[in-house]
A = this chain, B = another copy of it.
Amino acid sequence: MGTVGKAIFLLEQFSTEQPEYGLSDLAQKVSFDKATTRRLLVSLAEHGMVEQDAETRRYRLGPGVSRLARIREWHFPLQKMCAPFVRDLARETGETVHLSEYSAGTLLTVQVELSARANRVNVDVGQPLPLHGTASGIAFLTCARPEITKACFEGRMEAFTRFTHTSRDALEKAVNAARARGYSRGDQGFEEGVASVAAPILNTDGIAIGTLAVASPMSRIDAETTERYGRLTMQAAEAIACQLNGGAA
């Protein structure tokens, strides 16, 4: 791994559950030398990508990352643009809706609108979703760049539940079915008792950049509602794509 790879790897250790690290913690977690870790952190800190608490000496993400993100959101306002669609879909279905964006091998949850019901599916912002094991992932694979699909098919497929597709064959079948249908179904592939539908959000070239998904407890779901949610999700994803790309159209 190159030096910048390591530096970014450090940044990626920070999460909502673990937003701060001491030097040694972090060095151990990524198994770099303490000295190395420190030099990287100092470099990052010089540019505001991390900051060190003056008192506790612990490190956390700095203002620099927010700055970069604002620049990106400025000319590619995925989140802002999708917010109303996500809300509407959540209202129409009464279920948890989440929006994900593809990044470096997985789908990252960007936005979540939780169901108002007591029995609901919880998804966290920032949570990565495996391509092979979720409705979102399968929807994404229906229109992903060939390299990505290939890498996914050829990689190891972890089994999250006893329903997870773990063979290339099974996955390919699921993807093809989803492609034909226009939306994907995920039956407890990632978490037992959860059924989802998802549709890809396409860019101008017809390549998926992310997905929109509805996740419900199995108990509330039958073939008919699945179909209904699937259609709604698909329509919302298309509307998003339309606004993202065309503007008007």
Contacts and interface: CB of A to CB of B under 8 A. Distances in A.
Interface of A: 2-5, 7-9, 11-12, 14-16, 19, 39-40, 43-44, 46-49, 54-55, 60-76, 78-79, 101-104, 108, 110, 125-126, 145, 205, 207
A157 to B, nearest CB: 21
5 contacts: A11-B68, A48-B103, A54-B145, A65-B72, A66-B69
Contacts of A68: 11-12, 14, 61, 65, 68-69
B74 A125 contact: yes
Which of A60, A70, A78 has the largest number of chain B CB atoms within 10 A?
A: A70
A14 B103 CA distance: 19
Contacts of A71: 14-16, 19, 61, 126
B72 A8 contact: no
| Identical copies of this chain, number | 2
A5 B74 contact: no
Given A48-B104, A69-B69, 17 more contacts: A4-B43, A4-B44, A5-B46, A5-B47, A8-B43, A11-B68, A19-B72, A46-B104, A47-B104, A54-B145, A61-B72, A63-B104, A66-B69, A66-B79, A66-B101, A68-B69, A71-B126
A58 to B, nearest CB: 12
A47 B101 contact: no
A19 B63 contact: no
B205 A47 contact: no
B207 A54 contact: yes
A108 B73 contact: no
A67 B2 contact: no
Contacts of A54: 145, 205, 207
Contacts of A55: 205
